[in-house]
Structure 1
Amino acid sequence: MIKQEKLSELTQTDFKWFDVVDIDEADIRELKKSFKLTPEITSYVSDLNERPHYDYDEHTDSHLLVYDVPLWPTAEINHFTTRPIVFLIHEKTVFSFHTHRTNYVFEQFEGSEMHQRLQNVHDITEFVMLFLFHSTQYFQRALTQINTDRNQLDRELNNEIANRDLRELAQIEKSLVYLSSSISTNLMMLQDLGKTPLARLLTPAAFERLDDILIESKQSSQMVKISSEVTEMLSKTSNNILNNNLNDTMKFLTVWSLLLTIPTIITGFFGMNVNLPLTNNHWAWLIIIVLNVGFMIWLFIYMKKHHFI
């Protein structure tokens, strides 16, 4: 669906902004017909798995930027993922392409606080840089939530490790992989923008905003790195605790298996249908019990002395 956003009342420019949500074949035909977009560009903007990058089309003098934003967990997907938002600058028109799952970025961009910032926008590149800065901040929000969830999980793991906790820890690790990958590719694309044809269009204000985005992205990159290291350490600690618990369980079972072997051996002898000592003794059963207990105590003390238990 192609929707034209009204920005003339909010910015000091005359450019147009078209927002395209969940692009389909009808939208692609309209973009080719009305705006003369090439098939290469339409293939980029319709690819939901496109990685962050910059591309310039000489035939249409169009600048395309692909930028990832985080997606919060849902009932179907229990971890953070990312999806691209695509910006296309063509003459005095800017297009944004995204899916309904990234609508939250655009809804909050149109809030009252952002309206005040838009009043200082004088150029189309300043608008795009402002939106990218707005989008970048969601990575730190996502990482803050992940850190909060991990700290809560850490407190629960200190008490007792359950399968549910381990699954949650695995979801956190998946989230960090997605966020780390997107932050890194976003950062590489931003660092290379100054060497692209788009740099000729950037105003001083747009360059200043680009520096702010780079700082924000580098902070997010450092945060996700630290968070990944802490999560990895927590995962290793949990595995060590589980292995230690398993060793204790196996040691307990082994000790009792050895102790219970003694009554089996002794009673096995006296269960044979042959003449044996104590056969005619009325106190034989009590003597046999005392022998069993005595040998079991001796074996327990022996294993304890030699640190088997």
Structure 2
Amino acid sequence: MIIKQTLSGEYDFDYKWFDIYNLDDHDIEVLKEKFHLTTEIISYINDIHERPHFDHDYITNSDLFVYDVPLWPTSETDHFTSLPIKFLMVHDILFTVHTPETTYMIEEFKTTAPKDIHSNKELVFAILFSVTKYFQRALSQLNSQRIVLDAHLSGSKIKNKDLQELAQVEKSLVFLSSSIRTNLMMLESLKNKKSGLHMNASEEEMCDDIIIEVQQASQTVKIYNEVTEEISATSNNILNNNLNDTMQFLTVWSLLLTVPTIVTGFFGMNVSLPILNKPIDWIIITVGTLLVMLWLLWYLKRHNRF
């Protein structure tokens, strides 16, 4: 689907912005016939696995930006992932290409677009700055989940559900960290004169603002990663300690129950014994067994065995 987008308000440059998602065969033919895009360029913008990068084509005089944005958890995926948004500038035309899951980011930008945009490059940077803020939103949500899980996992009783949710938080941080890192590499490459992207002072300032925002997100996700790893390690230590306590408890009771097993096995043999031939001998045997068990219990406790 190809939709011509318009911004609310008046702008002092004649922009042509087309938003593309769910690209089908008919749309591909329109891009080739009406906009004269090559098959190679269309394959680039239609690849959902494209990693963040910038490419300038000197032959067609086109600029391609690929930028990752966060994708919120769904019923199929329990953790944050990321998907690319592509920006293709061909002469005076801007194309944004994305999936339906990230359409709302474009729609939100249209309602909050700044009024001081003077070129297609500034429009691209304005959209990039807008979608970059979604990383902070995602990280804030993950931090809220982490705080709740930290409270649950700090107790002596740790539930499997909490551990599974912590694992999803860790997965989310891995995806977001990777996307933020590659986005930062792409943005920093734009500052290189060899990139082929020529920017004026205003465009460079907007690019610097995005880089600062991404760097802040990079530092935030790094801190959250470290804290989450500490929570995971602490939870594992608590689980191991609980397991040790359980095994120690079972071992002590196994030793205590061994005493009556040995005694009853000895006196339960079907042979005559030279001692204890009175009807009340079972009381003596029971009392003696209990005394031995109490002594063993005292001995284990005195030597810090439990």
- Pairing 1:152–2:148 present: yes
Cα distance in 2, alignment partners of residues 8 and 155 from structure 1: 46
- Pairing 1:24–2:24 present: yes
* Counterpart amino acid of residue 197 in structure 2: A
Residue in 2 aligned with 1:265? 262
Q: Which runs of 5+ in 1 are unaligned?
A: none
- Secondary structure of the 1:161 match is coil
Residue in 1 aligned with 2:164? 167
CA-to-partner distance for each residue in 1:239-271, whole Å, 9 max, x for gaps? 110011001000000100010000000000111
- Pairing 1:58–2:58 present: yes
Aligned length in residues? 304
Shift of 1:304: 1.6
- Secondary structure of the 2:73 match is coil
2:118 to 113, 119, 122: 122
Residue in 1 aligned with 2:286? 289
Cα distance in 2, alignment partners of residues 132 and 146 from structure 1: 22
- Secondary structure of the 2:34 match is helix
Asked if the contact 2:55/2:195 (under 8 Å) is kept, the reply is no
* Counterpart amino acid of residue 46 in structure 1: N
CA-to-partner distance for each residue in 1:192-246, whole Å, 9 max, x for gaps? 102244531x232111111100000000000000000000000000011001100
Residue in 2 aligned with 1:253? 250
> Judging changes above 3 Å, is the alpha-carbon distance between structure 1 residues 8 and 169 closer, same or farther for their aligned structure 2 residues?
closer
Q: How does 1:1-309 map to 2 (within 5 A)?
A: 1-7=1-7, 9-111=9-111, 113-114=112-113, 117=114, 119-159=115-155, 160-195=157-192, 196-200=194-198, 202-309=199-306
Shift of 1:43: 1.2
Shift of 1:276: 1.5
* Counterpart amino acid of residue 194 in structure 1: K
Asked if the contact 2:154/2:235 (under 8 Å) is kept, the reply is no
Cα distance in 2, alignment partners of residues 73 and 277 from structure 1: 78
Cα distance in 1, alignment partners of residues 79 and 152 from structure 2: 19
Percent of residue pairs bearing the same amino acid type: 54
- Secondary structure of the 1:282 match is coil
Shift of 1:15: 1.9
- Secondary structure of the 1:12 match is coil
Shift of 1:179: 0.1
Asked if the contact 1:7/1:16 (under 8 Å) is kept, the reply is no
> Judging changes above 3 Å, is the alpha-carbon distance between structure 1 residues 292 and 10 closer, same or farther for their aligned structure 2 residues?
farther
Cα distance in 2, alignment partners of residues 227 and 265 from structure 1: 57
- Secondary structure of the 1:32 match is helix
Cα distance in 2, alignment partners of residues 26 and 263 from structure 1: 85
Cα distance in 2, alignment partners of residues 43 and 277 from structure 1: 97
- Secondary structure of the 1:35 match is coil
Cα distance in 1, alignment partners of residues 294 and 272 from structure 2: 28
Cα distance in 2, alignment partners of residues 104 and 161 from structure 1: 38
* Counterpart amino acid of residue 153 in structure 2: L
* Counterpart amino acid of residue 259 in structure 2: I
Shift of 1:158: 2.1
Cα RMSD (Å) of the superposition? 1.3
TM-score, scaled to structure 2: 0.96
CA-to-partner distance for each residue in 1:137-191, whole Å, 9 max, x for gaps? 1101110110010001111112331000000000000000000000000000000
Query: Which moved further from structure 2: 88-97 or 155-164?
Result: 155-164
Asked if the contact 1:126/1:203 (under 8 Å) is kept, the reply is no
Shift of 1:280: 2.4
Cα distance in 2, alignment partners of residues 7 and 285 from structure 1: 97
Shift of 1:25: 2.4
CA-to-partner distance for each residue in 1:26-65, whole Å, 9 max, x for gaps? 2222212211212221111111111000111122110000
